[in-house]
A = this chain, B = another copy of it.
Amino acid sequence: MKFGVDYYPEHCAEEHWKWDSEKMKEAGIDVVRMAEFAWAKMEPSEGRYDFEWLDEAIEILGQKGIKTVLGTPTPTPPIWIIEQNPEILPINLQGQRMGFGGRHHNCQSNEIYRNHIRRFVRVMAKHYKDNPHVIGWQTDNEFGNSHQQLCACDSCRTRFHQWLEQKYGTIDTLNDAWGTVFWSQTYSRFDQIPAPLPTPNSHNPSLLLDWKRFCSDLIVDFQKLQIDILREECPEHFITHNFMGFFDKTDYFKLAKDLDFISHDQYPMHFRDLRIPRTTPSHLSMALDLMRGTKQQAFWIMEQLAGPTGWEVISSTPRPGQIRLWTYQSIAHGADTIVYFRWDTCLVGTEQYWHGIIPHSRIPGRRYAEIKQTIQELAPHMEKFRNSLPEAEVGILFSYDQEWALQIQPHHPDLNYIEHLRSYYKAFFDANVPVDIVSDEEDYSRYKVLVVPLLFLTHPELSKKLYDYVSSGGHLVLSMRTGVKDWNNAVIPKTLPGEFSELLGITIEDYDCLRQFGQGLRWIAETATTEEDVRIWSDIITLNGAETLAEYNQDFYANTPGITRNTYKQGLAYYVGTELGPDMMRLFIEELLRGSGVSGMVASPEGVEITRRRGQDGDYMFVINHNSTEVGLAIPEEWNALVGTEYLQGTILKLPSYGVALFSCPLDTESPLIKPI
């Protein structure tokens, strides 16, 4: 499977299905995802099943050679389920029970609801296990979406107690770990522990962190319930789930474990209304790299933007070329299959303006043409890099536990764990250096450089792994707030950076949250001194073997170290005591890459991404112009243009706005320096 669409035959009259299948076929579509919200259509009342319509749709598509992935429709329990047992409706962290009328209106621990799932998923699986056009399953839809803070009902609270008992064994262990002695919160039984509903002040930070972990594990468990049935009934089918990049309600590393491969929903124009919009090229590519990293494996895009998106408010329309561009970007970073959301555009309901390829009028327009062109130019090459990956020499550690702990206590109102990571990521991205996003369970030995920002919570195994990594010659970067806490969110009574003092050759006896007072850094590692403001936080560092790369330039700790480097056994350990601006970060990453032997940075004009995907027989270079203007590049002679020949004049590539090109080049070619012209 290479290219697909999300398809909702139930949203239009049956008379359209045949035409749909023909136009899909014409565009090169070979797979659809269906049915993940269609429970009420498949089971209109309890025990009365109706799969005929879906069978018919699958058959029509199958006739055209289009395969089907089925979604379990568990994000939308029908009204007849809710009506019988309104306690299935979830309760948010303000203590308010959510109503029927949207989606995801289900508590995930409720046993009555789970029984409905057990019954229905088994019936559905049995029905489709032998259908020759059905190839796999998607569980539910976007776990964690719309569940921002659900559910705090009695059933969930009871599960939380069980989860805590399993983790801590005895209530005394929990009391010690959480430090409930503070503010007289000592418990004598697990069932006394509250869900984090409103109090006159703040909850215990250890409780809050465990609650977030519990909610994440509950989702994993809720998925497992379905997977177990599907594996039993449909052993030949794959199982996947559509993730959402840096959404963080569930630990995707854990959720991925039970899946054959993961999928991702990529909406490059959509997440602009977040406090920090996730729409820049580096945001998009970092999300793709995380998706690849959840299993260190190629993945599907299960929903790739195909038009303007939005519910009550709507995004801009994608500029001509952008849908194609984002398709290339997804593939460059490890997607093997691209499924566009969605085929047509729904006339009714909340997503009337979440535009599909085909507009409301059902008359194919420029987006259909662009996607058709994209498929036709890309499809012939897709097999060559199937299941291959970019081969990164740089890893950046991402941890849901750190993300949650720093959401609970951000220290500075503007501290954002993901953006802090991205400040590193972007410097590599701008230099076109491939990066893996890795979990704390990964083997790091393959990386020349490992960046571990904000390692706030620590545990002995991870500490040891990082010591071993450097000992064996790795170049490690740690940053501010490293080593502060144990894994239960209690502070470790050591001088900072705690466990990592020896590795880093420094101590930190004071620190400054940058609120009333500002701060800056002066780069001193070279003759040219660059100075730039820093933000959020400054560690005040005492050298204990390390050397200084940059020093603060203001206030009472002016001229003390802000960035340090320490030689430890075979490796180097860097420490960055603050959040860097872009200039300082660029200097730092250049220094880091120079020292580490990571293969040469590839210079490209601003806004032009060059991403390599290593195929079985050579490298594939994706050249992607994120700019709205034409940009020229000199291309190495040994590169062979597969897509974009029309933009080439000799070795000069003139990419139009949002233009892309694809090259092949011999395996293990040293990446040459591409210069802007």
Smallest CB separation, A624 vs chain B (Å): 18
Query: Are A99's CB and B312's CB within 8 A?
Result: no
Query: Are A348's CB and B37's CB within 8 A?
Result: no
Smallest CB separation, A454 vs chain B (Å): 15
Query: Are A202's CB and B96's CB within 8 A?
Result: no
Contact with B along A631-653 (1 / 0, CB 8 A): 00000000000000000000000
Chain B minimum-CB-distance residue to A628: B555
Contact with B along A258-297 (1 / 0, CB 8 A): 0000000000010010000001000000000000000000
Q: Which of A1-25 touch B at CB < 8 Å?
A: 10-11
Contact with B along A162-205 (1 / 0, CB 8 A): 00000000000000001111111111100010111111111111
Cα(A360)–Cα(B539), bound, Å: 15
Cα(A379)–Cα(B146), bound, Å: 60
Smallest CB separation, A102 vs chain B (Å): 3
Q: How many residues of A contact B (CB 8 A)?
A: 114
Q: Which of A399-413 touch B at CB < 8 Å?
A: 408-413
Cα(A347)–Cα(B177), bound, Å: 10
Contacts of A313 in B (CB 8 A): 409-413, 513
Contacts of A37 in B (CB 8 A): 182-184
The 7 closest A-B pairs by CB, nearest first: A179-B348, A182-B349, A102-B199, A102-B201, A40-B184, A76-B184, A146-B200
Smallest CB separation, A208 vs chain B (Å): 9
User: Known contacts being A186-B78, A348-B206, is A199 close to B363, with CB within 8 Å?
Assistant: no
Task: Mark A residues whose CB is within 8 Å of B.
Answer: 10-11, 37-41, 44-45, 73, 76-80, 83, 90, 94-96, 98-105, 146-148, 150, 178-188, 192, 194-207, 269, 272, 279, 308, 310-317, 319-320, 345-353, 359-363, 365-366, 408-413, 490-496, 509-517, 540, 555-556, 628
Smallest CB separation, A472 vs chain B (Å): 30
Cα(A671)–Cα(B47), bound, Å: 76
- Other A-B pairs, 8, CB within 8 Å; known A96-B198, A105-B200, A206-B348: A99-B194, A179-B349, A181-B349, A182-B350, A314-B411, A314-B513, A316-B515, A317-B510
Cα(A11)–Cα(B490), bound, Å: 12
Chain B minimum-CB-distance residue to A195: B99
Tell which of B77, B101, B269 touches A196, judged by Cβ atoms closer than 8 Å. B101
Chain B minimum-CB-distance residue to A486: B347
Q: Which of A79, A146, A411, A490 has the most CB of B within 10 A?
A: A79
Smallest CB separation, A468 vs chain B (Å): 25
Contacts of A38 in B (CB 8 A): 184
Tell which of B194, B196, B315 touches A516, judged by Cβ atoms closer than 8 Å. B315
Query: Are B361's CB and A103's CB within 8 A?
Result: no
Q: What are 29 A-B residue pairs whose CB atoms fall within 8 Å in the complex?
A: A37-B182, A41-B181, A41-B184, A44-B186, A78-B185, A79-B186, A80-B188, A96-B198, A98-B198, A99-B194, A100-B194, A101-B199, A101-B207, A102-B199, A102-B202, A103-B183, A150-B200, A181-B349, A182-B349, A182-B351, A202-B311, A202-B350, A312-B411, A314-B513, A346-B491, A347-B491, A347-B492, A348-B491, A352-B409
Cα(A316)–Cα(B512), bound, Å: 5
Smallest CB separation, A355 vs chain B (Å): 10
User: Known contacts being A73-B184, A183-B102, A202-B102, is A317 close to B512, with CB within 8 Å?
Assistant: yes
Cα(A205)–Cα(B102), bound, Å: 11
Cα(A325)–Cα(B359), bound, Å: 52
Query: Are A179's CB and B90's CB within 8 A?
Result: no
Smallest CB separation, A573 vs chain B (Å): 20
Query: Are B316's CB and A517's CB within 8 A?
Result: yes
Cα(A101)–Cα(B353), bound, Å: 43
Contacts of A360 in B (CB 8 A): 491-494
Contacts of A185 in B (CB 8 A): 40, 76, 78-79, 100-101, 349
Contacts of A312 in B (CB 8 A): 202, 408-411
User: Known contacts being A348-B181, A350-B202, is A194 close to B101, with CB within 8 Å?
Assistant: yes
Chain B minimum-CB-distance residue to A320: B556
Cα(A38)–Cα(B184), bound, Å: 5
Contacts of A201 in B (CB 8 A): 102-104, 146, 311, 350
Query: Are B366's CB and A98's CB within 8 A?
Result: no
Query: Are B363's CB and A495's CB within 8 A?
Result: yes
Smallest CB separation, A334 vs chain B (Å): 26
Contacts of A94 in B (CB 8 A): 96
Smallest CB separation, A365 vs chain B (Å): 5
Tell which of B102, B194, B319 touches A203, judged by Cβ atoms closer than 8 Å. B102
Query: Are B204's CB and A101's CB within 8 A?
Result: yes
Query: Are B515's CB and A349's CB within 8 A?
Result: no
User: Known contacts being A185-B79, A200-B105, A347-B491, is A409 close to B353, with CB within 8 Å?
Assistant: yes
Tell which of B83, B104, B352, B362 touches A192, judged by Cβ atoms closer than 8 Å. B83
Contacts of A315 in B (CB 8 A): 513, 515-516
Cα(A516)–Cα(B362), bound, Å: 27
Query: Are B516's CB and A183's CB within 8 A?
Result: no
Contacts of A199 in B (CB 8 A): 98-102, 105
Contacts of A206 in B (CB 8 A): 348
Contacts of A366 in B (CB 8 A): 509-510
Smallest CB separation, A541 vs chain B (Å): 14
Query: Are A10's CB and B203's CB within 8 A?
Result: no
Contacts of A73 in B (CB 8 A): 184
Smallest CB separation, A43 vs chain B (Å): 9
Contacts of A10 in B (CB 8 A): 181
Smallest CB separation, A486 vs chain B (Å): 9
Contacts of A202 in B (CB 8 A): 102, 311-312, 350
Tell which of B180, B200, B512 touches A98, judged by Cβ atoms closer than 8 Å. B200
Tell which of B146, B196, B514 touches A316, judged by Cβ atoms closer than 8 Å. B514
Contacts of A178 in B (CB 8 A): 348
Cα(A310)–Cα(B99), bound, Å: 36
Cα(A674)–Cα(B178), bound, Å: 56
Cα(A196)–Cα(B351), bound, Å: 17
Cα(A40)–Cα(B66), bound, Å: 66
Contacts of A100 in B (CB 8 A): 185, 194, 199
Smallest CB separation, A57 vs chain B (Å): 14
Query: Are A362's CB and B409's CB within 8 A?
Result: no
Contacts of A361 in B (CB 8 A): 493-496, 509
